[in-house]
Amino acid sequence: MHQQLIERTFAWSTPLLDHLGDRDRHLFQRYGQGPVVALPETHIHHAVERHAAALPDTVAAEHLGTRITYGELDRQANRLAAHLADLGVRPGDNVAVFVRRGIPMLVGILAALKAGAAYVPQDVGLAPPTHLRHVIHAAATRVILTVSAAADRIPVPDGHHLVAVDSVMAQPLGRCPERFVPTEQPGSTGENCYVLFTSGTTGRPNGVVVTHRNVCNILLTAPGNLGIRPGWRVGQLLNVAFDMAAWEILGCLSHGATLVIRGRDIAATAERVDALIATPTILSGLDPDRCEQVKVVAVAGEPCPRSLADRWARRRAFYNACGPTETTIVNTMHRHDVHAARLTIGRPTPNNTVYVLDPAGRPCAIGDVGEMWAGGDCVSAGYLDNPQLNAERYAPDPFLGGGRLMFRTRDLGRWTPDGQLEHLGRTDDQVKIRGFRVELDSVSAVLESVPGCRRAATLKLDDRTLVSFVAPHHVDPEVARQAVAAALPYYCVPTTIHPMAALPETSRGKIDKAALLRLAASGQWEQAA
């Protein structure tokens, strides 16, 4: 371990640091490198199997009154994995898991992993058939796992196998192997864990390949493990196609806790669990005073309002985290203190690095704003069949060296003097209004500091017009407008501010900015208020 740390530190010697003074060069390395930690497992499902062997009668998951123990979950997944192998699934393949929220979803995920495949999740109740068809084709899945009630929604190409997991589970188990071991394939090691499809910037969803090493690195080390342990209950609130759902599902099962899968009522689930993982938008709809059992909360996926962090951090551990799908759920985390001067996204998680770079790819001085690049074990294996996008977003890491890659997050940030990362929006949220550069997230952050404002979103309507939406509906638009005018230059002040009962959400629990832009452009926002 000591030698590994020496090798990683030595690799930071690069001419790219020559323009920095001695202090900034030292702090760039000190702040930007997470701790080096050994991982207890190489594959995330091995941790689940370990708990199944040690605690077979412990409840692994519950959903709408139905429960499954770790022992039964493992046996069902073993049987389904063997069936996948009979259908031709081999290590290195992809298996579609097109399901609705429930216990069969877990069996399908674990079976795919046990078979050496990566699972490709979609919520079949939300994804339209055209999207499912694209995912099947792009991920080259030959087997599609689903549930009986959703089978007729899936466009199954010729030569593909559709398997209803709940139907398989309903059959007598009989003799079942204690552990399914897939047949090794030359050149295929089964190192990929899942493939998630992001929205993409061209309208074409992009499949991101995430490895077991990536996943184990965040879920089996602190603080990403969130202290989850046997006896805890972890909420499963999020869309299975969203990478944060893997934090809920695999983060819970790899630590022997009980996954509480929600029904329609998110609050009813949140009020009876020990750990919550959510987007700020979802968390803003929950009452922390009614969630007395909750011990730890983690948010990511979009900027978190300081007021929301403060409300939840007063009585429990609250982690503000950041990281796109391509850096494996999150690659920075910070436990927020209500007395802190600012809300930050912290430092790199174990075995990871973060670099704040200027447009030329050189490190910024401490305190200067730049674009955040992520390095280390969080960096995913890239996009499926998209070499052009891979070349745009992934690059050789000149700081770690050794053939490692770093990922361009398109997030803006800077290091605070004490080594915390401030998230300052995204490069694609920088717009020009009347010739001036405006960071939309900065405007929204000011609006969310207005007393009573839970969520805000700011959009560019045209070259002269900013429009903001705030929630809930009783927020006074003039008070909100004056707050922006007092904090930011005049060209940052929205032309109009529209109060709404709640801001629309995407299927992944984030603010639906596209829907708001359509409302603003059509002038129909009043009907949505």
Q: Is the pTM above the cut of 0.85?
A: yes
Tokens 């983690």 sit on residue: 298
Two tokens at 314? 């007063």
Q: How many CB atoms lie within 10 A of CB 234?
A: 26
Q: Residue 234 in contact with residue 273, Cβ under 8 Å? A: yes
- Rg of the chain's alpha carbons, rounded to an integer? 23
**With b meaning 16 or more CB within 10 Å and e meaning fewer, what string describes 418-448?**
eebbbbbbbeebeeebeeeebbbbbbbbbbb
pLDDT at 178: 65
Q: Coil, strand, or helix at residue 30?
A: helix
| Secondary structure E strands in 300-429 | 317-322, 332-335, 347-348, 352-357, 370-376, 382-383, 394-396, 405-415, 421-426
Which domains does the chain show, CATH number per domain?
A: 434-522 (3.30.300.30)
- Would you write out the chain's pLDDT as a tens digit for each of its 529 residues? 333 443 444 456 678 899 999 999 999 999 999 999 999 999 999 999 999 999 999 999 999 999 999 999 999 999 999 999 999 999 999 999 999 999 999 999 999 999 999 999 999 998 889 889 999 999 999 999 999 999 999 999 999 999 999 999 999 987 666 667 776 655 556 799 999 998 654 456 899 999 999 999 999 999 999 999 999 999 999 999 999 999 999 999 999 999 999 999 999 999 999 999 999 999 999 999 999 999 999 999 998 999 999 999 999 999 999 999 999 999 999 999 999 999 999 999 999 999 999 999 999 999 999 999 999 999 999 999 999 999 999 999 999 999 999 999 999 999 999 999 999 888 877 788 877 778 898 899 999 999 999 999 999 988 888 999 999 999 999 999 999 999 887 888 999 999 999 999 998 899 999 999 889 888 665 444 4
Bond prior to 223 in cis (omega within 30° of 0): yes
Partners of 120 in the β-ladder: 96
pLDDT at 525: 54
pLDDT at 199: 64
Q: Coil, strand, or helix at residue 92?
A: coil
DSSP string for residues in 348-363: EPTTEEEEEE-TTSPB
The set of residues, in sequence order, having a beta carbon less than 8 Å from that of 442 and lying 6+ positions away, is: 424, 425, 488, 492
The set of residues, in sequence order, having a beta carbon less than 8 Å from that of 129 and lying 6+ positions away, is: 153, 154, 155
Nearest-angstrom CA–CA distance, 460 and 433: 8
pLDDT at 188: 57
pLDDT at 205: 81
CA distances (Å), origin 401, targets 7, 10, 14, 157, 257: 10, 10, 9, 43, 38
